[in-house]
Structure 1
Amino acid sequence: MKKENKNFALVLFILGVFITALDNGIISSALSTINYSFNVSEVHGIWGITLYTLGMAISTPIIGKLADRYGRKKLFIFEISLFAIGSLLVALSPSFLFFLLARLIQSIGGGGIYIIASSHVLSTYDRVQQGKLLGAMGAVNGIASVVGPNLGAIILKLTGHWNWLFIINIPIAIFVIIAGGMVIPETKGGDLKKLDYRGLTLLTLGIFSFMAGITNLRSERFLQSISGIQVWGAFMLGIIFFALFAVNERRIRDDTDPFLPYQLIKNQGFLLTIFMGLLSGTLIAVFVLIPSFVEQRYGISANTSGIWMSGIGVGSILGAIIGGIMVSKRGAVNSLVISGGLSTIGFGLLAYLSNNLALFLVFSTLAGIGFGMLMGAPFQVLMKKIAGTKDSTVALGTLSVSRQVGLTLAPTLYATLIQGGFSKLNLAKLNASNVEEYYQKILSMGKGVQREQLLNNFYEIAKGAYQQMFTMAVIASVLILVGSLILKKKQF
Structure 2
Amino acid sequence: MSTKHRTSQKWPVALFTIGVFMAGLDNGIISTALTTINDTFGVSPAWGAWSITLYTLGIAISVPIIGKLSDRFGRKRLFIIEIFLFGIGSLLVALSPSFIFLLAARFIQSIGGGGIFIIGSSHILATLPKGQQGKALGMLGGMNGLAAVIGPNLGAIILGITGTWQWMFLINIPIAIFLIVFGFFKIEETTQSTTKPMDFAGTVLLALGILAFMYGLTNLNSLALFESMMKPSAGPFLLIGIVFFIIFILHERRVEERNGDPIVAYSLLKKRLFQITLILGLLSGGFLAGIIFIPSFVQQVLQVPVEKAGYWLTPMALASGIGAGLGGYLTDKAGAIKTIIYAGFIGVIGFVLFPLWVDSLGPFLIASVLAGIGLGILLGAPLNVLVGECAGSNEEGSALGALSLIRQIGLSLFPTLYAGFVAGAFTNISPVMKAKYGDLGLDHVNGEENYGEVIEQINKITDPKTRLEALDTVSNILKAGFNQMYITAGILALFVMILGVYLSSRKQ
TM-score computed with the length of structure 1 as normaliser? 0.81
Instruction: Kindly indicate whether the alpha-carbon contact (under 8 Å) linking 2:252 and 2:262 is maintained by their aligned counterparts in 1.
Output: yes
Q: CA deviation at 1:417?
A: 5.2
- Tell which deviates more after alignment, 288-297 or 431-440: 431-440
- The aligned runs of 1:75-114 (5 Å cut-off) are 75-90=78-93, 99-114=102-117
Instruction: Kindly indicate whether the alpha-carbon contact (under 8 Å) linking 1:206 and 1:242 is maintained by their aligned counterparts in 2.
Output: yes
Q: CA deviation at 1:362?
A: 1.0
Indicate which of 273, 279, 282 corresponds to 2:277. Answer: 273
Indicate which of 57, 60, 70 corresponds to 1:57. Answer: 60
Indicate which of 492, 495, 502 corresponds to 1:476. Answer: 492
Query: Structure 1 residues 188 and 239, CA, compared in 2 at 3 Å: closer, same or farther?
Result: closer
Cα distance between partner residues in 1 of 2:342 and 2:251? 37
Cα distance between partner residues in 1 of 2:105 and 2:446? 24
Q: CA deviation at 1:337?
A: 1.1
- Check if 1:7 corresponds to 2:23: no
Instruction: Kindly indicate whether the alpha-carbon contact (under 8 Å) linking 2:331 and 2:339 is maintained by their aligned counterparts in 1.
Output: yes
Instruction: Kindly indicate whether the alpha-carbon contact (under 8 Å) linking 2:426 and 2:445 is maintained by their aligned counterparts in 1.
Output: no
- The letter for the 2-side match of 1:132 is Q
Indicate which of 168, 180, 192 corresponds to 2:183. Answer: 180
Instruction: Kindly indicate whether the alpha-carbon contact (under 8 Å) linking 1:272 and 1:483 is maintained by their aligned counterparts in 2.
Output: yes
Query: Structure 1 residues 207 and 397, CA, compared in 2 at 3 Å: closer, same or farther?
Result: closer
Partner of 1:338: 342
Query: Structure 1 residues 225 and 136, CA, compared in 2 at 3 Å: closer, same or farther?
Result: same
Partner of 2:151: 152
Query: Structure 1 residues 126 and 355, CA, compared in 2 at 3 Å: closer, same or farther?
Result: closer
Q: 1:149-170: CA deviations, max 9, x gaps?
A: 3213422553447936544433
- The aligned runs of 1:187-198 (5 Å cut-off) are 187-191=190-194, 193-198=196-201
Partner of 1:359: 363
Instruction: Kindly indicate whether the alpha-carbon contact (under 8 Å) linking 1:34 and 1:162 is maintained by their aligned counterparts in 2.
Output: no
Query: Structure 1 residues 242 and 74, CA, compared in 2 at 3 Å: closer, same or farther?
Result: closer
Q: CA deviation at 1:16?
A: 0.8
Indicate which of 246, 258, 263 corresponds to 2:262. Answer: 258
- The aligned runs of 1:408-487 (5 Å cut-off) are 408-415=412-419, 418-419=422-423, 421-422=425-426, 438-439=450-451, 448-449=460-461, 459-460=475-476, 462-487=478-503
- Check if 1:283 corresponds to 2:287: yes
For residue 252 of structure 1, give the secondary structure of its aligned residue in structure 2: helix
Q: CA deviation at 1:458?
A: 5.8
Q: CA deviation at 1:15?
A: 0.8
- The letter for the 1-side match of 2:82 is E
For residue 255 of structure 2, give the secondary structure of its aligned residue in structure 1: coil
Instruction: Kindly indicate whether the alpha-carbon contact (under 8 Å) linking 1:115 and 1:397 is maintained by their aligned counterparts in 2.
Output: yes
- Tell which deviates more after alignment, 462-471 or 31-40: 31-40
- Tell which deviates more after alignment, 253-262 or 3-12: 3-12
- The letter for the 1-side match of 2:57 is L
Cα distance between partner residues in 1 of 2:444 and 2:302? 21
Partner of 2:435: none
Instruction: Kindly indicate whether the alpha-carbon contact (under 8 Å) linking 2:30 and 2:155 is maintained by their aligned counterparts in 1.
Output: no
Q: CA deviation at 1:280?
A: 1.3
Query: Structure 1 residues 470 and 357, CA, compared in 2 at 3 Å: closer, same or farther?
Result: same
Partner of 1:115: 118
Q: 1:23-72: CA deviations, max 9, x gaps?
A: 3455556778878995425xx77654443233223223433444455554
For residue 45 of structure 2, give the secondary structure of its aligned residue in structure 1: coil
Cα distance between partner residues in 2 of 1:174 and 1:299? 44
- Check if 1:314 corresponds to 2:318: yes
Cα distance between partner residues in 2 of 1:449 and 1:290? 28
- The letter for the 2-side match of 1:150 is V
Cα distance between partner residues in 2 of 1:212 and 1:393? 25
For residue 318 of structure 2, give the secondary structure of its aligned residue in structure 1: helix
- Check if 1:396 corresponds to 2:400: yes
Partner of 1:348: 352
Q: Which runs of 5+ in 2 are unaligned?
A: 431-439
Cα distance between partner residues in 2 of 1:231 and 1:438? 25
- The letter for the 2-side match of 1:40 is P
- The letter for the 2-side match of 1:336 is I
Instruction: Kindly indicate whether the alpha-carbon contact (under 8 Å) linking 1:132 and 1:377 is maintained by their aligned counterparts in 2.
Output: no
Cα distance between partner residues in 2 of 1:193 and 1:386? 22
Query: Structure 1 residues 118 and 233, CA, compared in 2 at 3 Å: closer, same or farther?
Result: closer
Indicate which of 313, 327, 331 corresponds to 2:331. Answer: 327
Partner of 1:127: 129
- Check if 1:205 corresponds to 2:208: yes
Indicate which of 40, 43, 54 corresponds to 2:45. Answer: 40
- Tell which deviates more after alignment, 8-17 or 214-223: 214-223
Q: 1:176-233: CA deviations, max 9, x gaps?
A: 2333344334554333544444334334433444444444444544554444454443
Q: CA deviation at 1:336?
A: 0.9
Partner of 2:372: 368
Cα distance between partner residues in 2 of 1:351 and 1:32? 33
For residue 449 of structure 1, give the secondary structure of its aligned residue in structure 2: coil
- Tell which deviates more after alignment, 338-347 or 176-185: 176-185
Q: 1:343-377: CA deviations, max 9, x gaps?
A: 12212223554332222211010011111111222
Cα distance between partner residues in 1 of 2:489 and 2:98? 33
Q: Which runs of 5+ in 1 are unaligned?
A: none
Cα distance between partner residues in 2 of 1:436 and 1:83? 34
Partner of 1:490: 506
Instruction: Kindly indicate whether the alpha-carbon contact (under 8 Å) linking 1:25 and 1:147 is maintained by their aligned counterparts in 2.
Output: no
Cα distance between partner residues in 2 of 1:242 and 1:4? 39
Cα distance between partner residues in 2 of 1:258 and 1:6? 29
Q: CA deviation at 1:111?
A: 2.0
Cα distance between partner residues in 2 of 1:286 and 1:336? 18
Cα distance between partner residues in 1 of 2:97 and 2:444? 23
Query: Structure 1 residues 389 and 308, CA, compared in 2 at 3 Å: closer, same or farther?
Result: same
Partner of 1:143: 142
For residue 490 of structure 1, give the secondary structure of its aligned residue in structure 2: helix
Q: Could you say which structure has the larger radius of gyration?
A: 2
Q: CA deviation at 1:286?
A: 2.7
% identical equivalent positions: 42
Instruction: Kindly indicate whether the alpha-carbon contact (under 8 Å) linking 1:339 and 1:373 is maintained by their aligned counterparts in 2.
Output: yes
Query: Structure 1 residues 55 and 347, CA, compared in 2 at 3 Å: closer, same or farther?
Result: same
- Check if 1:244 corresponds to 2:243: no
